[in-house]
A and B are shown apart, each in its own frame.
Chain A
Amino acid sequence: MTLTAETPRPSVTAAAGRARRPRLLPRVAPYLQAAPLTVTLLLFLLVPILTIVAVSFWDYDSVRIYPDFVLTNYTELLASPVTWKTYLNTLKYAALTWAITLGIGFTVAYFLAFHVRSTTWQMVLFLVCTIPFWTSNIIRMISWIPFLGRNGLLNSGLISAGIIDQPLEFLLFSDFSVVLAFVHLYALFMVVPIFNSMMRIDRALIEAARDGGANAAQTLWNVILPLTKPGIAIGSIFVVTLVMGDFITVRLMSGGQSASIGLMIANEISLLQYPAAAANAVVLLAVVLIMVVAMLRIVDIRKEL
């Protein structure tokens, strides 16, 4: 290309080539531009997923896995009441965490977007929200344990304040502590997209609503909420997928007493039952995809992007 361009006397063929090339290049260029991402996705997403799907049909014993085509992994998985119970439990965590983070996320974002007037303060407060992310997930989680424990800060505080006589047992190693940790870990994933959506709302619309006689609640319900939906959808996808796949939070905060799908898979992997884990992962992937598709059906996320 460069060579032909620099040829001092363009011959007829070269001129024809030059004429043809500009037409060819625009057609190829987008593909070339997309190629690195496509290759990366193929290599690091599609191939592993296909491998997992393939392995999920293999047979195994306590030592090895055998290339085969058996359905036992799926039948064992789906026929077991434990699987259903675990899915129900995981969905319960996801639903609770989703509802609470949505409440917190919406409130915080609303405060940031509509109550804080100066952009500087908005940014400062927004950054304050990210401070917890300066330490690792696990540390933030573990720090709840001494706080909530039987002889923990909260219980001893309540006892010495005379509010309770017996330590509250449900605070730690319970569903309560699991959901609490989830909310703590993932609330920001709700705040950010909702805040982003709210910032894009034309302030004139709110003025118009007020001029039209709407009170604050009506404005919130009929103007702000519909316009924030894409942000809510994105935040929900984050929170739900994170909770569905999590295993370490559930294990640490429930004291190993509760199960989640992620934990089930982690257990299977640690016991070298890769095919069973793969089958479980495939089912989990399907469930999460269905949930995401359902969310995208409700909200047209393209508007946001």
Chain B
Amino acid sequence: MTDTRTPSKSAMPSTGVSRRTLLKGTAAVAGAAVGSGAITGFPTIWAQNIKNVTLRQFGTGVSNLNAVADKVKEDLGFTLQMTALDSDAVTQRAVTQPKSYDIADIEYWICKKVFPAGVMQPMDVKKIKNFDKIVPIFITGKMTPGSAIAQGTAPHTVGFVEGKDSTKFAKSATQWMTLIPTIYNADTLGIRPDLVGRPISSWKDLLDPAFKGKASLLNIPSIGIMDAAMVCEAMGEIKYGDKGNMTKEEIDKTLKIMTDAKKAGQFRAFWKTFDESVNLMSSGEVIIQSMWSPAVAAVRAKGIQCVYQPLKEGYRAWGGGLGIAKHLSGLELEAAYEYINWYLSGWVGAYLNRQGYYSAVLDTAKQHMSPEEWAFWMEGQPAKADILSPEGKVMEKAGAVRDGGSFQDRMGRVACWNAVMDEDRYMVRKWNEFIAA
């Protein structure tokens, strides 16, 4: 494994190093910029003063990784400052402190709140080199031309605006994109197979009385309500028009079911942060809960059995992307485009794929992964060799199969996307009543 891995990993740093050395050497000589562009394929027209550029990026912990910032410094020469916050804090900061960041790494459902506030600028897709290779889910909402569009705030519905200065979302793809998709995944329930004692196959198992006092739910209203809806629909109690845009009656019914379950002592706790969900699961306080895939990996990394359980009703998906702050212009704006182009060029994609997420441009990511890795992560095949995390730790032994199978199986079975509803304000009030009940 290490053998097959080494070339793919070392290929990039070596170009990076030579490029970096070149950048250093030519910092004073402006003309060499053309040469540096030729080496990695990035048009670097401002190599002489790029080192002075600092871009401030913030977003959720899933994708605001220091490894990315380090690699940016190495490959592109400028500094990227990363701030990782939770979803709510991200929304808050994006809207209320637009001057405090240059690049916002936000989720699509948050984008629906943030973009109309006028704090971001749409991106010109003509400047995005790999735009044509972006997974079609983000452009048309469909995996394949024939597949159905999932419920909720599907990324393509908030992916484009009508014009350069518009804050109104466009119905179909235009030249102006709100976010460049970077990371996405299909979420489901996490379980402790050693403690649940039976196969889990449906969302409704979350409210199974057998797991009384041992279940947990995510307490971020916009996401938690979707999990609750998946559960209620699986129970056959409610048939939703659109789980991502419920009517008041649907909200009331959903939260009535959840409140009754809470009063009956079904839940042990509600979690809000990644760490909380990991701790609940690894300490055995909770044996079934809504969970994120890296959190499952984190529990497994402690040597505790934990499964990211595919369920017959399908997945609840989410996606995130990079947006550019309104105030960015000139050299910094160019750097931001450069960064976004670099983001889609493969290294980050491979990094994210290796964590179990998916990257927006699969072709480029594939070039940065070994065939064994690609087969395991993207095609759902049993691992031919040990699977390593991006940091080089063994995540899965040879022979293991990824939860939920291939990319097609997972992203093709998305039932709904994290959403912001028209009745958002009402929903949040009701959600708080549920938590306080």
Contacts and interface: CB of A to CB of B under 8 A. Distances in A.
B409 interface: no
Given A255-B270, A271-B88, A273-B428, A146 B283 contact: yes
Contacts of A256: 219, 269-272, 435
B420 A62 contact: yes
Nearest to A149: B283
Given A150-B284, A270-B88, A270-B92, A169 B270 contact: no
Give the interface size class of chain A.
Answer: 20 to 34
Contacts of B420: 62
A65 to B, nearest CB: 10
A85 B436 contact: yes
Given A80-B433, A255-B269, A256-B269, A271 B428 contact: yes
B269 A86 contact: no
B279 interface: yes
B270 A257 contact: yes
Contacts of B96: 272
Contact of B433 (A82, A145, A152): A82
A101 B113 CA distance: 44
A63 B117 contact: yes
Contacts of A149: 283-285
A270 B223 CA distance: 14
State the main secondary structure of chain B at its contact with A: helix
Nearest to B436: A259
B267 interface: yes
A169 B212 CA distance: 11
A259 B284 CA distance: 24
Given A256-B272, A257-B270, A273-B428, A172 B285 contact: yes
A269 B280 CA distance: 26
Interface string A256-267: 111100001001
A270 B90 CA distance: 9
B83 to A, nearest CB: 16
A61 B425 contact: yes
B92 A269 contact: yes
A269 B88 CA distance: 9
A273 B285 contact: no
Contacts of A270: 88-89, 91-92
Contacts of B284: 149-151
Interface in B269-299: 269-272, 279-280, 283-285
Interface residues of B, number: 36
Given A257-B262, A270-B88, A272-B113, A76 B267 contact: no
Interface centre among A149, A272, A273 (most CB of B within 10 A): A272
Given A76-B429, A259-B435, A173 B268 contact: yes
A146 B283 CA distance: 8
A267 B429 CA distance: 10
Interface string A127-162: 000000000000000000110011110000000000
A256 B215 CA distance: 13
A86 B95 contact: no
Contacts of B117: 63-64
B371 interface: no
Contacts of A63: 95, 113-114, 116-117
Contacts of A82: 432-433, 436-437
B9 to A, nearest CB: 37
B252 interface: no
A227 B433 CA distance: 45
A157 to B, nearest CB: 16
Contacts of B270: 255-257
Interface in B415-432: 420, 424-425, 428-429, 432
Interface in B308-339: none
A146 B269 CA distance: 14
B77 interface: no
Contacts of A169: 213
B334 to A, nearest CB: 29
A85 B259 CA distance: 15
Interface in A77-95: 80, 82, 85-86, 89
A254 B432 CA distance: 15
B95 A272 contact: yes
B90 to A, nearest CB: 10
A251 B420 CA distance: 24
A182 B210 CA distance: 33
Contact of B425 (A85, A146, A273): A273
Nearest to B422: A62
A257 B221 contact: no
Interface in B15-61: none
Nearest to A173: B269
Interface string A48-92: 000000000000011110000000000010001010011001000
Contact of A173 (B285, B424, B425, B436): B285
Q: 3 shortest A-B CB distances, which residue pairs?
A: A255-B269, A256-B270, A259-B436
30 contacts: A62-B420, A63-B95, A63-B113, A64-B117, A76-B429, A145-B283, A149-B283, A149-B285, A151-B284, A172-B285, A173-B285, A251-B272, A255-B216, A255-B268, A255-B269, A255-B270, A255-B285, A256-B219, A256-B269, A257-B270, A259-B432, A264-B432, A264-B436, A267-B432, A267-B435, A270-B89, A271-B88, A271-B221, A272-B91, A272-B96
Interface of A: 61-64, 76, 80, 82, 85-86, 89, 145-146, 149-152, 169, 172-173, 251, 254-259, 264, 267, 269-273
Given A150-B283, A150-B284, A270-B89, 7 more contacts: A61-B425, A63-B117, A82-B433, A85-B436, A149-B285, A257-B262, A257-B270
